């Protein structure tokens, strides 16, 4: 949940690291810090708050001169966000500086041991424990000391290390937390993701668990946990710097909403060949499974709720969707006949990883739907289908979510065909519908101005309900999450038929209810629910398909979206809800791309 960068070369380490931290800020933004090495001296500056606070202090600090250093932007796990707890942390002897992403589970035990040896601690962090342990293990051989320290740590970490005795070299290592190395010419980098250095190089090496990299300006050497050198392949990143920049948009979130037609197209197109769905990455016989279990967190779970409906509806295969943080502890009834689908944008979500491990231990085959190439989830899965959304920087996911749904559509149609559950005619119709999705998503974006006006009307609401049925309900869950996470307005999503079992007590004069009415077979039912809330004073904003005339008589405001087959409506109908959340948050002057208390990838439990 934190951002890490390391650099060594001949350029100005401070400028390069601060610039990288700005790009990484979406990973955590409660404090930040930088350490630069100059000969045998390590100088460090840290600041509470956003990276800009650090920049304003660091730029004035003449000691931060050097060609080698590390930086960090934090999402606090141990200890409140303040200057002392910010990273890097220095060992007591000043020999080591360390930045860390992850959680050290046995930190208390190690800390006690080190205190008994006479060491003292300044911060409340587990990271300081690690750097002190490193210094305790050091006898002049840094590689040996890092490997020994790694072997004593229980938990997850991606680390960057400077050692005063080894100028010009940065070290990085990982267990269950991502580290990518960037290869330049006469300079090298590492980061918790590629955005840290994408403006300098596209040639990367993915570090694997229990590996240590020694990075100097001309050479990168990687060792396994035994200290043996390992050869790694170099991967070329396919996207470029523009994808990780705002390109004129006020916020990444708006840019990413607008990128959805292109992202959906990039996800769909390579997998349709001669009007057939082809998953080169999926060499499985779907007939051997008697059920599908989808697991994920947050919006990825909500994409899974849509996926569950689609798979069950067209494959007639028992499918459930379960939150990964619950599944991992529920001793789930999974066996080798269960296909587990793990969904994740970042590919690093701790609970999803744990749920996958649990599923694998019970013999399930695990398929990942994942955006980040080479991520832990992609590697852990038996099969991975990538969503080609490109980098997603805004904490609130948009194109990550819609591309996950696009993959579910393709997977379900592919599976239904294998299972003989759809005939050739329906198969061809579905494929034509899939091919039209990018264009329909593009047309939906034409609602931008209208949604903005509605947000102007409704942004002052203190509580907003989303209601829908079946597919529409699954989308309400995501629409409501989008609103609450970036605007901090209380919001609930309800299966419309459930309202009368309790929640309708909360409906009062002026309460805004967003009614999603795009699932045609249940239109009359949701209209009854609209009438019920209106009778109790609610104002209703309805989202319906473009040929729906009835709805104007029922709702106070209406947004009409392009019509397609019922199963494909969710990927379209979420778009105005994303825009609505965005403009409500904007009117409320919220920090849209970096909402409070959140971070982009949730690598802790
Ligand atoms: O990277 P993942 O897709 O695994 O992340 C899962 C959730 O943390 C994520 O979707 C979260 O709910 C988003 N902030 C929602 O916008």
Give the domain CATH number at 305.
3.40.50.10490
Residue 456 predicted with pLDDT over 90:
yes
Output the pLDDT for position 290: 96
The domain boundary, picked from 411, 435, 459, lies at 435
Q: Which of 178, 297, 306, 307 to mutate to test the pocket of ligand 1 (most atoms within 8 A of CB)?
A: 297
Are 395 and 470 found together in one domain? no
Are 109 and 201 found together in one domain? yes
Question: Residue 597: pLDDT band by 50, 70, 90 thresholds?
Answer: confident
Asked, for residue 441, whether it belongs to a domain, the answer is no
Measured over the CA atoms of residue 6, residue 12, residue 14 and residue 17, the dihedral's sign is negative
Are 156 and 110 found together in one domain? yes
Are 413 and 294 found together in one domain? yes
| Long-range contact set of residues 43-49: C-beta below 8 Å, sequence gap at least 24 | 44/88, 44/90, 44/97, 46/83, 46/84, 46/86, 46/87, 46/88, 47/83, 47/86, 48/81, 48/82, 48/83, 48/86, 49/81
Query: How many H helices and E strands in the chain?
Result: 18, 26
199: Cβ contacts below 8 Å, ≥ 6 apart: 19, 23, 241
Output the pLDDT for position 268: 97
Residue 299 near ligand 1, beta carbon < 6 Å: yes
Mean pLDDT of 410-431: 97
Output the pLDDT for position 76: 78
Asked, for residue 603, whether it belongs to a domain, the answer is no
Are 363 and 507 found together in one domain? no
Asked, for residue 274, whether it belongs to a domain, the answer is yes
Asked, for residue 130, whether it belongs to a domain, the answer is yes
Residue 605 predicted with pLDDT over 80:
no
Atom 16 (ligand 1) nearest CA: 396
Tens digits of residue pLDDT in 211-225 = 999 999 999 999 999
Domain that holds residue 365: 250-435
Asked, for residue 596, whether it belongs to a domain, the answer is no
DSSP state of 165: T
Output the pLDDT for position 245: 86
Asked, for residue 546, whether it belongs to a domain, the answer is yes
Residue 377 CA: nearest ligand 1 atom is 4
65: Cβ contacts below 8 Å, ≥ 6 apart: 12, 14, 36, 38
Q: Give me the percent of the chain exceeding a pLDDT of 70.
A: 100
Mean pLDDT of 71-92: 88
Helix (H) or strand (E) holding 211: strand 211-215
Most confident of 22-31, 73-82, 125-134: 125-134
* 400 Cα to the center of ligand 1, angstroms: 9
Are 415 and 292 found together in one domain? yes
Q: Which of 602, 603, 604, 605 to mutate to test the pocket of ligand 1 (most atoms within 8 A of CB)?
A: 602
Residue 300 near ligand 1, beta carbon < 6 Å: yes
Are 217 and 329 found together in one domain? no
The domain boundary, picked from 184, 217, 242, lies at 242
Atom 11 (ligand 1) nearest CA: 298
Catalytic status, residue 476: no
Are 402 and 517 found together in one domain? no
Output the pLDDT for position 65: 94
Residue 78 predicted with pLDDT over 90:
no
Nearest CA among 17, 338, 296 for reference residue 182: 17
The domain boundary, picked from 402, 435, 468, lies at 435
Rounded to the nearest integer, the mean pLDDT of the chain is: 95
Output the pLDDT for position 276: 96
Torsion of Cα atoms, 208 then 210 then 216 then 218, to 10°: -40
CB 223 within 8 A of CB 185: no
Atom 4 (ligand 1) nearest CA: 344
Are 400 and 259 found together in one domain? yes
H helices of 252-332, in order, are 252-258, 260-268, 298-315, 324-327
Q: Which of 252, 253, 298, 401 to mutate to test the pocket of ligand 1 (most atoms within 8 A of CB)?
A: 298
Output the pLDDT for position 421: 97
CB 352 within 8 A of CB 297: yes
Question: Residue 99: pLDDT band by 50, 70, 90 thresholds?
Answer: very high
Residue 485 near ligand 1, beta carbon < 6 Å: yes
Are 205 and 264 found together in one domain? no
Output the pLDDT for position 424: 96
Asked, for residue 512, whether it belongs to a domain, the answer is yes
Torsion of Cα atoms, 550 then 551 then 552 then 558, to 10°: -150
Compute CA 605 distance to the chain's CA centroid, rounded to the nearest angstrom.
14
Residue 527 predicted with pLDDT over 80:
yes
Q: Give me the percent of the chain exceeding a pLDDT of 90.
A: 89
Tens digits of residue pLDDT in 138-181 = 999 999 999 999 999 999 899 999 999 999 999 999 998 899 99
* 503 Cα to the center of ligand 1, angstroms: 27
Catalytic status, residue 2: yes
Residue 10 predicted with pLDDT over 80:
yes
* 277 Cα to the center of ligand 1, angstroms: 27
Are 314 and 356 found together in one domain? yes
Are 507 and 373 found together in one domain? no
Atom 12 (ligand 1) nearest CA: 298
Q: Which of 29, 256, 296, 345 to mutate to test the pocket of ligand 1 (most atoms within 8 A of CB)?
A: 345
Q: How many domains does one find in the chain?
A: 3
Residue 1 predicted with pLDDT over 80:
no
Tens digits of residue pLDDT in 15-54 = 999 999 999 988 888 899 999 999 999 999 999 999 999 9
**Pairing assessment for the beta strands 272-273 and 276-277 based on DSSP bridges:** antiparallel
Residue 352 CA: nearest ligand 1 atom is 4
Residue 602 near ligand 1, beta carbon < 6 Å: yes
**CATH code where residue 31 lies:** 3.60.20.10
CB 432 within 8 A of CB 272: no
Catalytically annotated residue among 22, 482, 594, 600: 600
Asked, for residue 598, whether it belongs to a domain, the answer is no
DSSP state of 416: H
């Amino acid at each position: 949940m934190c951002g890490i960068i390391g650099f060594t070369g001949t350029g100005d380490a401070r400028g390069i690291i601060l610039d990288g931290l700005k790009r990484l800020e979406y990973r955590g933004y409660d404090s930040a810090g930088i350490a630069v090495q100059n000969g045998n001296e390590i100088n460090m500056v840290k600041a509470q708050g956003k990276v800009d606070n650090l920049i304003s202090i660091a730029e004035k600090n003449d000691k931060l001169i050097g060609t080698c250093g590390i930086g960090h932007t934090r999402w606090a796990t141990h200890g409140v966000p303040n200057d002392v707890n910010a990273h890097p942390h220095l060992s007591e002897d000043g020999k080591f500086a360390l930045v860390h992403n992850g959680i050290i589970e046995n930190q208390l035990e190690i800390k006690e041991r080190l205190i008994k040896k006479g060491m003292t601690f300044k911060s409340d962090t587990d990271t300081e424990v690690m750097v002190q342990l490193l210094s305790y293990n050091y006898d002049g051989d840094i590689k040996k000391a890092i490997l020994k320290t790694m072997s004593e740590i229980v938990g997850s970490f991606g680390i960057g290390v400077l050692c005063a005795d080894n100028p010009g070299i940065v070290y990085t290592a990982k267990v269950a937390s991502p580290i990518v190395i960037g290869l330049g010419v006469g300079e090298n980098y590492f980061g918790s993701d590629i955005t840290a250095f994408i403006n300098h190089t596209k040639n990367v090496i993915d570090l694997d668990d229990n590996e240590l990299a020694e990075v100097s300006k001309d050479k990168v050497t990687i060792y396994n946990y035994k200290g043996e050198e390992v050869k790694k392949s170099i991967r070329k990143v396919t996207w470029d710097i523009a994808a990780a920049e705002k390109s004129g948009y006020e916020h990444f979130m708006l840019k990413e909403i607008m990128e959805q037609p292109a992202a959906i197209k990039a996800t769909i197109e390579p997998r349709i060949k001669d009007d057939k769905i082809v998953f080169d990455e999926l060499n499985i016989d779907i007939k051997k499974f008697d059920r599908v279990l989808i697991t994920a967190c947050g919006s990825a779970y909500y994409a899974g709720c849509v996926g569950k409906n689609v798979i069950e509806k067209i494959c007639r295969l028992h499918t459930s969707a379960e939150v990964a943080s619950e599944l991992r502890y529920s001793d789930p009834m999974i066996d080798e006949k269960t296909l587990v689908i793990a969904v994740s944008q970042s590919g690093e979500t701790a609970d999803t990883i744990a749920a996958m491990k649990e599923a694998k231990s019970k013999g399930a085959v695990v398929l990942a739907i994942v955006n980040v190439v080479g991520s832990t989830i992609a590697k852990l899965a038996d099969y991975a289908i990538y969503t080609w959304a490109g980098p997603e920087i805004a904490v609130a996911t948009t194109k990550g979510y819609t591309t996950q749904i696009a993959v579910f559509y393709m997977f379900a149609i592919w599976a239904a065909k294998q299972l003989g559950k759809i005939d050739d005619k329906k198969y061809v119709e579905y494929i034509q519908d899939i091919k039209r999705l990018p264009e329909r998503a593009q047309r939906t974006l034409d609602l931008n101005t209208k949604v903005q006006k509605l947000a102007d009307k409704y942004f002052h609401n203190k509580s907003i309900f989303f209601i829908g049925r079946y597919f529409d309900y699954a989308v309400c869950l995501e629409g409501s999450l989008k609103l609450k996470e970036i605007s901090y307005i209380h919001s609930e999503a309800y299966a419309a038929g459930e309202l009368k079992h309790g929640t309708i007590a909360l409906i009062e004069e002026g309460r805004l209810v967003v009614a999603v009415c795009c699932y045609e077979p249940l239109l009359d039912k949701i209209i009854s629910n609209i009438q019920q809330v209106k009778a109790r004073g609610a104002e209703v904003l309805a989202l319906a398909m473009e040929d729906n005339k009835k709805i104007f008589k029922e709702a106070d405001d209406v947004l009409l979206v392009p019509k397609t087959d019922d199963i494909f409506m969710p990927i379209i109908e979420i778009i105005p809800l994303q825009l609505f959340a965005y403009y409500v948050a904007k009117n409320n002057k919220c920090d849209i791309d970096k909402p409070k208390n959140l971070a982009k990838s949730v690598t802790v439990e």
